[in-house]
Amino acid sequence: MTEQKRYSGINASPGIAIGPVVKFTRERIVVNKQNINADEVDHEYRRLNMALRRTRRDLRSIQEMIARRVGDNYAEMVEAQLLSLNDEAVIEEVRTRIKDQRENAEYAFQQVLAGYREQLENSDNMYIRDRASDIYDVKQRVLRHLLTRDGGLLEDVEEPSILVTRELNPSDMIMRDRSKVIGLVSETGGRASHMAILARAMQIPAVVGVDNLLDQLGDEGSIIVDGYHGVVLTNPDQETKEQFRGELQHIREFEESLYTHKNLPAETKDGYRITLSSNIGLPGELENVHKAGSEGIGLYRTEYLYLVKNTFPTEEEQFGEYRQIAESVAPDPVIFRSFDLGGDKISASMEIEGFKESNPFLGYRAIRICLDNPELFKTQLRAIYRASAFGNIKLMFPMISALEEVMQVKEFIREVWEELDSQGTDYNKDIEIGTLIEIPSAALIADSLAEELDFFSIGTNDLIQYALAVDRGNDRVSFLYKNLHPSVLKLITMTIEAGHSHDIWVGMCGEMAADPLVIPLLLGLGLDELSVSPIVLPKIKEIVRELDREKCQHLAERVLDFKTEADIERYLRQFMQEHLPEQMNL
């Protein structure tokens, strides 16, 4: 009996899964040349046709699944792959090699595709270079069918299992029947990786960035994936399994009970109502938004379209997605956040060779990239304004640090209005425009920002990181990252007061808004809106509905006098014990 072992990674998608392991390794298939006889040529042709047909069938089902689960825009990722399978010129080349050189089908196919792939990889056009990996994927799929290998293809998962991989492509992941994949673990990737984004969209518990797990996995009976804490347990003992099963059951019952009040407002006992909305980034998540009883979308991460497709979306693609989202939640609002990309991602697309930042979080990011690339930014603004004719849209900007940036943004917006006016395009000029408050400088000048804007949304993850100068991902200093640091609460308070004194609403869309312990304080400080992942939304609503606004306000007054994080946390715990003891047990 092997020992229970614990591995930590990054909590990429919440939830708990217990089940057998399927190791998904993308083995690189390389086939050798075999000479065939003249009378075997027809046989090789038939094998080739069969493999192409099966691969087409696989890709079509992947395409359908992507369209359904993620969004129509994303299904196009597979289109070029499908077309290349129907490429008569390519198939003819393969057949010629089989017939004239007497090569076996797999070798002939491998060589022909490898030739194209190499040419694409050497292309000067980055959009075309990106297609090289698609061609590689097609080649591998066809070879697998030719070799009738069973391993390595997700279609072959029989019972509900946990996938453990080095890395996973979107097309690998989405092809699976949701019921067959109950958990995901990958050795690479972060919270913004394809896999993490899609896992959250599909509500599959996931842990990413677990180093060297595959090599250490033997013939495990089952493993446990804890997507809340970013932990993977191998060879769990009976006691641990029971404990997690109990927890899983508990969570399920609790979640079911929460959905019963999905149509009730997020309102305190004494009648103070806030807006409780969702953070999402893919059309496939709309279902979760509706199921959770969310009041619209408080943060739509528009960069997911870019991250998943790995190319800049066109205006039409963006417009189609924004319109779909807006129509789906109308009359409730959706707040689109303009592209929030890091310099590393953008530099690859823009082919800035050798562009490397020593301090990316203080570098070329988010609104800075947009202001530096007017065409890219205006394309997005045009798509959003065009979609504004179809729903209740608001627009906000990430990483604003100064008033000048807001003025620049507004100048771009005016230019977009003029373009749309001259084209006679229908749009709504009066949509609300706001900013994320996630840089301390923005909180400190919230007063002057409020004069120019219609709302604030506090992004706590970055705000805390910048205020405390702590990288949460760095194990040596992460203990210094404190949600409840008095300075953080001061910045939040300043922002709310500045907003309210200018009659604009103030919300919060960071992880802090999803922390049950902090909800009473946030209500007491006077936030008008909380935007959280749809997975935790019902729980937050339940807490709001059991609170009393006046008591929360007293709590907030007391808390602002405390001088240390420890005192603040202790006080919040006491408050919860006293008023919502049953919530504390979760």
Partner 1 sequence: MKKTGEIVIKNEFGLHARPAAALVSLTSKFDSQIFLIKDDTKVNAKSILGVLVLAAENGSTVQVEAEGEDAEEAISQIKELADNHFGTE
Among 27, 46, 68, 87, binds partner 1 (CB under 8 A): 87
Among 24, 107, 109, 116, binds partner 1 (CB under 8 A): 116
The Cα 203–Cα 288 span in angstroms is 9
Q: Using CB under 8 A, which of the segments 117-125, 187-195, 252-260, 436-444 binds partner 1?
A: 117-125
* Binding flag, residue 316, partner 1 (CB under 8 A): yes
Q: Residue 447 carries which DSSP code?
A: H
The contacts of residue 49 (CB under 8 Å, 6+ apart) are: none
Q: Using CB under 8 A, which of the segments 75-83, 101-109, 281-289, 327-335 binds partner 1?
A: 75-83
Side-chain half-sphere exposure of 586, counting CA atoms within 13 A: 22
Q: Using CB under 8 A, which of the segments 253-261, 312-320, 363-371, 562-570 binds partner 1?
A: 312-320
Residues 255, 508 contacting (CB under 8 angstroms): no
Among 96, 101, 125, 564, binds partner 1 (CB under 8 A): 125
The contacts of residue 156 (CB under 8 Å, 6+ apart) are: 150
Side-chain half-sphere exposure of 116, counting CA atoms within 13 A: 25
Look up residue 111 and give its two tokens. Answer: 């060589």
- Position 17, amino acid: A
Q: Using CB under 8 A, which of the segments 293-301, 306-314, 397-405, 411-419 binds partner 1?
A: 306-314
* Binding flag, residue 435, partner 1 (CB under 8 A): no
Active site residue 194: yes
The Cα 57–Cα 392 span in angstroms is 40
* Binding flag, residue 352, partner 1 (CB under 8 A): no
Choice among 145, 194, 485, 552 that is catalytic: 194
Q: In the bound complex, what is the minimum distance in angstroms from residue 411's beta carbon to partner 1?
A: 23
DSSP 305-348: HHHHHSSPPPHHHHHHHHHHHHHHHTTSEEEEEP----HHHHHH
The Cα 523–Cα 380 span in angstroms is 34
* Binding flag, residue 80, partner 1 (CB under 8 A): yes
Q: In the bound complex, what is the minimum distance in angstroms from residue 109's beta carbon to partner 1?
A: 13
* Binding flag, residue 90, partner 1 (CB under 8 A): yes
Q: Using CB under 8 A, which of the segments 11-19, 33-41, 188-196, 314-322 binds partner 1?
A: 314-322
Rounded to a whole number of angstroms, the distance between the first and last alpha carbons of the chain is 33
Residues 30, 110 contacting (CB under 8 angstroms): yes
CA proximity to 334, closest of 319, 318, 348, 322: 322
- Altogether, the residues listed in the chain come to a count of 586
* Binding flag, residue 29, partner 1 (CB under 8 A): no
* Binding flag, residue 30, partner 1 (CB under 8 A): no
Nearer to partner 1 by Cβ, of 121 and 247: the residue is 121
Number of residues this chain uses to bind partner 1 (CB under 8 A): 25
Question: No. of H helices and E strands in the chain?
Answer: 27, 17
Residues 549, 270 contacting (CB under 8 angstroms): yes
Q: Using CB under 8 A, which of the segments 121-129, 268-276, 518-526, 551-559 binds partner 1?
A: 121-129
Among 2, 49, 101, 123, binds partner 1 (CB under 8 A): 123
Q: Residue 361 carries which DSSP code?
A: G
Q: Indicate the Cα dihedral angle 67, 70, 76, 79, nearest 10°.
A: -60
Residues 324, 71 contacting (CB under 8 angstroms): yes
Among 21, 105, 120, 517, binds partner 1 (CB under 8 A): 120
* Binding flag, residue 60, partner 1 (CB under 8 A): no
Q: In the bound complex, what is the minimum distance in angstroms from residue 260's beta carbon to partner 1?
A: 45
* Binding flag, residue 232, partner 1 (CB under 8 A): no
Active site residue 509: yes
* Binding flag, residue 219, partner 1 (CB under 8 A): no
The Cα 570–Cα 568 span in angstroms is 5
* Binding flag, residue 96, partner 1 (CB under 8 A): no
Look up residue 465 and give its two tokens. Answer: 């990181």
Q: In the bound complex, what is the minimum distance in angstroms from residue 387's beta carbon to partner 1?
A: 17
* Binding flag, residue 176, partner 1 (CB under 8 A): no
Choice among 145, 370, 485, 509 that is catalytic: 509
Q: Using CB under 8 A, which of the segments 253-261, 311-319, 382-390, 549-557 binds partner 1?
A: 311-319
* Binding flag, residue 84, partner 1 (CB under 8 A): yes
Distances (CA, A) of 568 to 438, 464, 560: 22, 16, 8
Nearer to partner 1 by Cβ, of 112 and 544: the residue is 112
Pairing between strand 231-234 and 223-226?
antiparallel
Nearer to partner 1 by Cβ, of 116 and 397: the residue is 116
Look up residue 253 and give its two tokens. Answer: 């019952």
Nearer to partner 1 by Cβ, of 86 and 257: the residue is 86
* Binding flag, residue 351, partner 1 (CB under 8 A): no
Residues 483, 518 contacting (CB under 8 angstroms): yes
* Binding flag, residue 135, partner 1 (CB under 8 A): yes
* Binding flag, residue 566, partner 1 (CB under 8 A): no
Residue numbers at the binding site for partner 1 (CB under 8 A): 76, 79-80, 83-84, 86-90, 116, 119-120, 123-125, 127-128, 131, 135, 311-312, 314-316
List residues with catalytic annotation: 194, 509
